[in-house]
A and B are shown apart, each in its own frame.
Chain A
């Protein structure tokens, strides 16, 4: 008997196509490990395109139109997510539930696990199988270690890390069954959505940069940003950037932030100075063509993605490089 696997995907903002493809690829990887039937619950508005996509991949699709959240008083779809999809989930009675590890997925997955008596495993980057048991790999300790965990319950709800289920699948066109439903207007939340603010349009500094020199908390104090700037200037077409902890401390404005909650960049050269390399940061820069890590901790996770690793105090190292390169010019 096939296990029922359910994908839950969000299509509120019309920007989720990458996430849905990764969810589908993850489901197809599970299919290689254990026999499953795939179902999808889509939540959002204008769902025709994603419905077609999941259906062609052979998944049965249930669409839940939540445009009603735009009626006054407005609500964010995140605050009605669980209530809106609950009915559809119970109908499928899945044993594996997959969603994205983003603000949508994380707005309901832990609750779902409690309500359905399921195991919740978040930020999954790989799924393997041994003797019929599925093992889920996820980062811990800021990306320094990986843990392989397994579920102790019948139902397992997982969220997948963006960028890790990207293998190309050759698939013939199939046709899953499609169901459409509108979310009941009785589903309400006391949390009112007043406005949505978007960050000021980011300048094109990252797009035009050939080289990005990024700083993390390891640079010690705000004033040392000046050293990073000086260092970046020895490279042509370069700019500086920062990790989230550094931006949170107010050492650089938000528009400089690289990572899952900032910008995703892929320059020809990325130099990470005093950045430990949390999975959040790595997701935003791992596709850079050449990566240099400079960190005093030889076990820092940044070295796992670096082409060139320099174990040293990053400020002393930068000073040394500046000394040598300027004396060459003279």
Chain B
């Protein structure tokens, strides 16, 4: 079985991300370390679990991003993926989900994948579009918001999360339909920590590097542009309590008493 997992890098400390002076993009401190987008980490783990059950499985990892993204590809390989592939873009340049999905489609169509997995969304842009757009471009069936996958007798059993905790238990024969794409919702497994030896082994492996303009001949453009970014609007004008922790705690108790929340 061939599995492709699409992942994205996310800064390790979201709270240290700021805005550029023109307020058109976010600014990530230079020494920032990156980790796998939380939702994508579940997707990698799900693929590795399938490989443990079906050893005749190859897992390819792909990412589209700046050169620093190679760390997350190595990490995914350390978790148990076989091959890594990167499409390098310029750092700090906005790429819309539509454009990223066009690049991923080019990669995904180079091999017959039975299963394509990706996180339901990225933690930074929160679009929840790329996976489904990739499925549409590949003319592949897809299921979004998946919280469980089991494969037995060539039937893939998938649980999809809906609103209010409702779950749909679905079945599909993926080998009859040229594969399926699943976008993974949080909490489906506990992504493993790669062992040191696995990480060293992954480090020794070569990651295939490609550039966007070498991969796709026509000039790809974004379908949307950012006019401005700003700190999220306050819904309530909150009062900040100042002082030492002791003073803050006392002030807090006073306010709770004033409002009759504490006796």
Whether a CB of chain B sits under 8 angstroms from the CB of A310 is yes
> Which of B43-51, B61-69, B74-82, B128-136 contacts its partner?
B128-136
Whether a CB of chain B sits under 8 angstroms from the CB of A106 is yes
Q: Which of B87-103 contact A (CB under 8 A)?
A: 97-98, 101
Q: Which one of A119, A307, A310 has the highest number of Cβ atoms from chain B below 10 Å of its Cβ?
A: A310
Please name the residue on chain B nearest to A162 by beta carbon: B163
The CA of A196 and the CA of B170, in the complex, are separated in Å by: 9
Chain B 112-132 interface mask (CB, 8 Å, partner A; 1/0): 000000000001111111111
Whether a CB of chain B sits under 8 angstroms from the CB of A3 is no
B interface SS class: mixed
Whether a CB of chain B sits under 8 angstroms from the CB of A220 is no
- Chain A residues near B135: list those with CB within 8 A: 111
The CA of A150 and the CA of B224, in the complex, are separated in Å by: 6
Question: In the bound complex, do residue A193 and residue B164 qualify as a contact, i.e. CB atoms below 8 Å apart?
Answer: no
Classify chain B's interface size: 35 or more
Q: Which of B164-208 contact A (CB under 8 A)?
A: 164-173, 176-177, 186-187, 190
A interface SS class: mixed
- Chain A residues near B167: list those with CB within 8 A: 196-198
- Chain B residues near A309: list those with CB within 8 A: 238-241
Please name the residue on chain A nearest to B127 by beta carbon: A122
Please name the residue on chain A nearest to B24 by beta carbon: A147
- Chain A residues near B259: list those with CB within 8 A: 269, 290
- Chain A residues near B166: list those with CB within 8 A: 196-199
Question: In the bound complex, do residue A145 and residue B230 qualify as a contact, i.e. CB atoms below 8 Å apart?
Answer: yes
Question: In the bound complex, do residue A110 and residue B129 qualify as a contact, i.e. CB atoms below 8 Å apart?
Answer: yes
> Which of A59-67, A91-99, A243-251 contacts its partner?
A243-251
Question: In the bound complex, do residue B187 and residue A307 qualify as a contact, i.e. CB atoms below 8 Å apart?
Answer: no
Chain A 82-102 interface mask (CB, 8 Å, partner B; 1/0): 000000000000000000001
Whether a CB of chain A sits under 8 angstroms from the CB of B152 is no
> Which of A26-34, A170-178, A297-305 contacts its partner?
A297-305
Pick the contact of A145: B123, B161, B229 (CB < 8 A): B229
Please name the residue on chain A nearest to B17 by beta carbon: A141
Whether a CB of chain A sits under 8 angstroms from the CB of B9 is no
The CA of A235 and the CA of B261, in the complex, are separated in Å by: 6
Pick the contact of A103: B144, B177, B232, B241 (CB < 8 A): B144
- Chain B residues near A194: list those with CB within 8 A: 169-171
Whether a CB of chain A sits under 8 angstroms from the CB of B215 is no
Question: In the bound complex, do residue B136 and residue A114 qualify as a contact, i.e. CB atoms below 8 Å apart?
Answer: yes
- Chain B residues near A230: list those with CB within 8 A: none
- Chain B residues near A140: list those with CB within 8 A: 26, 124-126, 229
Chain B 13-26 interface mask (CB, 8 Å, partner A; 1/0): 01101010000001
- Chain B residues near A248: list those with CB within 8 A: 186-187
Question: In the bound complex, do residue A299 and residue B221 qualify as a contact, i.e. CB atoms below 8 Å apart?
Answer: no
Given A119-B98, A120-B98, A191-B143, also A145-B128 (CB < 8 A): no
- Chain B residues near A235: list those with CB within 8 A: 256, 261-262
Pick the contact of A135: B17, B136, B137, B227 (CB < 8 A): B227
> Which of A39-47, A50-58, A316-324 contacts its partner?
A316-324
The CA of A72 and the CA of B261, in the complex, are separated in Å by: 55
Please name the residue on chain B nearest to A108 by beta carbon: B132
Whether a CB of chain B sits under 8 angstroms from the CB of A68 is no
Please name the residue on chain B nearest to A121 by beta carbon: B224
Please name the residue on chain B nearest to A102 by beta carbon: B163
Whether a CB of chain A sits under 8 angstroms from the CB of B141 is yes
Q: Which one of B222, B238, B263 has the highest number of Cβ atoms from chain A below 10 Å of its Cβ?
A: B238
- Chain B residues near A198: list those with CB within 8 A: 164-167
- Chain A residues near B231: list those with CB within 8 A: 144-146, 299
Question: In the bound complex, do residue B248 and residue A144 qualify as a contact, i.e. CB atoms below 8 Å apart?
Answer: no
Question: In the bound complex, do residue B223 and residue A139 qualify as a contact, i.e. CB atoms below 8 Å apart?
Answer: no
Question: In the bound complex, do residue B98 and residue A147 qualify as a contact, i.e. CB atoms below 8 Å apart?
Answer: no
Q: A110-B128, A145-B231, A286-B235 are in contact. List 6 more A-B contacts (CB 8 A).
A: A145-B26, A153-B223, A193-B168, A195-B168, A305-B234, A317-B248
Q: Could you tell me which A residues sit within 8 Å of B by CB distance? A: 76, 78-79, 102-103, 106-107, 109-111, 113-115, 118-123, 135, 138-153, 189-199, 210-211, 234-236, 244-245, 247-249, 254, 257, 260-262, 268-269, 276, 279, 282, 286, 290-293, 297, 299-301, 303-312, 316-317, 320-321, 323-325
20 A-B pairs whose Cβ atoms sit less than 8 Å apart in the complex? A103-B163, A106-B132, A111-B135, A113-B98, A114-B133, A122-B126, A148-B226, A149-B224, A152-B221, A152-B223, A190-B176, A191-B143, A198-B164, A199-B166, A248-B186, A268-B261, A282-B235, A311-B240, A321-B253, A324-B246
